[in-house]
Amino acid sequence: MIAGLVICFGYAVLVWLVFFYFKWLKFSIAWGVVSVFIGLHLLIIFMIGLRFVAPYSTDARMIQHTIQLTPRLSEPTLVTDVLVEQNVPVKRGTPLFQLDRRAYEYKVRELEAQLAKAKQDVLIKEADVAVATHKVAKLKDELVYDKYQQKLSADLAKRGAGPKEEAEKWAAQVAAAEAGILEAEADEKRVRLLYTSEIGGVNTTVAETQAQLDLARFYLDNTLIVAPEDGYIINLQVRPGMVAGDVRFGAIASFICDADRYLLANYFQENLKYVKPGQRVEVALDLYPGQIWRGTVEDIWQGSGSGQMLPSGTLPSFSYVPTDVPQGQFAVVIRLDDPDQRKFPIGTQGRASIYTNPDSGFVWLRKIGIRAYSWFNWLYPFSG
């Protein structure tokens, strides 16, 4: 800064000595044009210094996280009550919208009844297992008796002491009893499988009904939409009587979060050569004419959308960009020092200057410029 001032001052003295004091050359319009032309080029020193020592953004705006409030329900549901006012701060967990609970309450009651029945069915299946086991034991005992009668009648028939038809009858009876035992054993196995069908130690039917009940309770709980964080809603358009749910796509409101708001300023890429996190920043916000807010560089977004290519079958093509077209810019995240962040609502615009070398004289030139912009906001725009 000092070197630039010395050079410019020396040049002015040289012009004065040559043309006005010693009059070595006669001052004319031509020499005047040449002198001014050279002098303006010397001023490039200050432009370069300002660009790299105190880079300046004309596009800075306040960013706040927003959460899209979308009902997580299984069917279209009527909004019955709006419990919040727009632009009024609310705390995390504060009720915002109440949707019709009736259909979901009915579903919960239905599944509670099915769950009770499923648990009762488990006891019934346990009794069925016992009955099937006893039935198999009974049929096996009867089979022993049938085999005894078959043997007895067969011996009598051989000695001619009994009819042959009686022996054949008991043989058929034995065969039928053996088939009955096989059927009873298969039925016992089926009943036992139904009884012992478990997942995680719980009967599968009970577990399935319990899962359905939990889902129904989830939907019932979501008929009340609460604030996910501390914040507020603007442009509140929800009214009792509107229908929301899985058929109505999109959110019914946008919730603006209070936490983690920051200023995002765009800078030309070459101006960020010496910018690093932790450097001091001054900001002039259009919302507060005549005021300067201080902050700190938190992060530099090393990238922009101009370098992104989407997958496609088209080969990339490049065209000449005129020098007067603004070049690609990178965004810088700035945290303002003021403890009351509510002063800076979402979308607040302004300008920001980063001081890469606070001891440089160029910083004072930038401070004068940004303060002039802030005070000029008292007049501009000229809306009458």
Looking up residue 248, the CATH number of its domain turns out to be 2.40.50.100
Alpha carbons 289 and 293: distance in angstroms, whole number: 11
Same-domain status, 165 and 180: yes
Q: Would the pLDDT of 176 be above 60? A: yes
CATH number at residue 352: 2.40.30.170
Same domain, 245 and 283: no
CB 49 within 8 A of CB 42: no
Position 293 confidence tier, pLDDT thresholds 50, 70, 90: very high
Alpha-carbon torsion angle 109, 113, 118, 119, nearest 10: 100
Q: 174 or 88: which carries more pLDDT confidence?
A: 88
Quote the domain boundaries for residue 183. 104-218
pLDDT at 345 over 80: yes
Residue 120, domain member (yes or no): yes
* Structural domain total, the chain: 4
* Average pLDDT across the chain, whole number: 82
Same domain, 202 and 122: yes
Local structure of 193: helix, strand or coil: helix
C-alpha 342: how far from chain center? 23
* Residue 202 lies inside a defined structural domain of this protein: yes
93 and 227 share one domain? yes
Q: Of 155, 188, 218, which residue sits at a domain end?
A: 218
Q: Do the beta carbons of residue 70 and residue 370 sit within 8 Å?
A: no
Q: Is 229 inside any structural domain?
A: yes
Domain-located, residue 228: yes
Whether residue 79 is contained in a domain is answered as yes
pLDDT of 19 reads 58
Residues 165 and 131 in one domain: yes
282 domain residue, yes or no: yes
**115 and 213 in a common domain:** yes
Q: In this structure, is residue 320 part of a structural domain?
A: no
Does residue 267 lie within any of the structural domains? yes
pLDDT of 18 above 90: no
Does 267 have pLDDT greater than 80?
yes
Helical H runs in 222-304? none
Q: Are residues 239 and 299 in the same domain?
A: no
Average pLDDT over residues 198-226: 90
The pLDDT, as a whole number, for residue 5 is 46
| Cα–Cα distance measured from residue 381 to residue 384, given in angstroms and rounded to the nearest whole number | 9
40 sits in which H/E element: helix 29-42
266 and 204 in a single domain? The answer is: no
**Spatial separation of the C-alpha atoms in residues 184 and 131, rounded to whole Å:** 10
The pLDDT, as a whole number, for residue 6 is: 47
Is 96 in the same domain as 230? yes
The Cα 145–Cα 215 span in angstroms is: 56
If asked whether residues 344 and 266 sit together in one domain, one would say yes
Instruction: Say if residue 232 is in the same domain as residue 83.
Output: yes
Considering 159, 190, 218, which residue would you say is the last residue of a domain?
218
Residues pairing with 198 in the sheet = 203
Pair 214, 349 in one domain: no
